[in-house]
Amino acid sequence: MSENGKLNKFWLWELTRPAFEDWVENESEPVIVLGMGAIEQHGPHLPLGMDSLGAKHFVHEVAKRTNSVCFNPCWPGYSPHHMGFRGTVTFKEDTLLAVYMDTIECLADHGVKRFVMSNHHGGNSDIFSLTARLAKQYFNVMVAQPSGPSNTELAKVYADRQKRHWDVHSGPTETSGALALFPELVEMWRLENWEPALKMDPKLYEFMDPDREDFELVSQVRNATMPPVNIDFTSTGVYGTNDPRTADPDEFRARFEERVGFFVDFINLWKTIPVPDAFKD
């Protein structure tokens, strides 16, 4: 439903055509919030849809607080590096790019000029950025990819944990998110005998210490040495060296709130700047 441009439902697929039309015509600066996630193995305890489920919760919360419409055009992302584990469904790079380009093109045709994108899977990063660049070029729309806040206490805790333990996939950080947002899909009991599953040259472990003076150098050497397919460096599909059972859903809720707040502030501020003439049809 949308009346005088004010939505009370935010998923594109839940709106009627007249409701969508009312929103495009009467909302002063309509914004579409697009999520990008993945369907891929997430260790023994997290659902395959972890990243897309996270994207779904995030974009909906942002849309609700900014009178925006949210849409996740597809469930899979770009995850060929996870294919060694069963259950992963990846789109090829061209497919994923085409899905998002087609989505933006259609919504641009219907009069939307502002898009905000949110990525929830590291493997998508390059395609995610390329989408924004190409959509702007080809469809004459503004595409934003806000990122932040990175200077809060909690942001520093997250960044340090990621650096120190390579907690980027199915470790405590993602487990906290799943326990906060969809606890019914998490199977913590599968971690009963958890131990670090990373398989690397022992020397490379030493390169994971962010307190080293030469960390900038050695961490890049480590990255350069990681195999392309993750079954070759993790036996369980979990990357980090820290224990996912230390997950803290309350900490995640606080970080989620910070990140949603950043997107909301971004959109509200952005809407105070009129669409430049260069973007007008």
Q: Are strands 2-3 and 6-7 parallel, antiparallel or unpaired?
A: antiparallel
- Please classify residue 188 by burial: count the beta carbons closer than 10 Å to its beta carbon, then call 0-12 exposed, 13-18 middle and 19+ buried: middle
Nearest CB to Zn ion, comparing residues 67 and 72: 72
Site stretch for Zn ion (CB under 5 A), options 48-56, 58-66, 95-103, 258-266: 48-56
Q: How many residues bind Zn ion (CB under 5 A)?
A: 2
In 3D space, the residue among 2, 32, 24 whose CA is nearest the CA of residue 267 turns out to be: 32
Site stretch for Zn ion (CB under 5 A), options 46-54, 93-101, 201-209, 264-272: 46-54
In 3D space, the residue among 184, 64, 60 whose CA is nearest the CA of residue 120 turns out to be: 60
Token pair of 184 as six digits: 């019914």
Nearest CB to Zn ion, comparing residues 50 and 107: 50
Nearest CB to Zn ion, comparing residues 219 and 230: 230
Shortest distance, position 122 Cβ to Zn ion, whole Å: 8
Site stretch for Zn ion (CB under 5 A), options 4-12, 50-58, 145-153, 246-254: 50-58
Buried b (16+ CB within 10 A) or exposed e, 136-156: beebebbbbbbeeeeeeeebe
Buried b (16+ CB within 10 A) or exposed e, 12-33: beebeeebbebbbeebebbbbb
Left (φ > 0), alpha (ψ -120 to 50) or beta: where does 166 sit?
left
> According to the binding rule CB under 5 A, does residue 167 interact with Zn ion?
no
Shortest distance, position 40 Cβ to Zn ion, whole Å: 7
> According to the binding rule CB under 5 A, does residue 61 interact with Zn ion?
no
Shortest distance, position 38 Cβ to Zn ion, whole Å: 6
Token pair of 222 as six digits: 């480590």
Nearest CB to Zn ion, comparing residues 196 and 237: 237
Q: Which residue is nearest to Zn ion (CB)?
A: 51
> According to the binding rule CB under 5 A, does residue 51 interact with Zn ion?
yes
Nearest CB to Zn ion, comparing residues 15 and 50: 50
Residues that bind Zn ion (CB under 5 A): 50-51
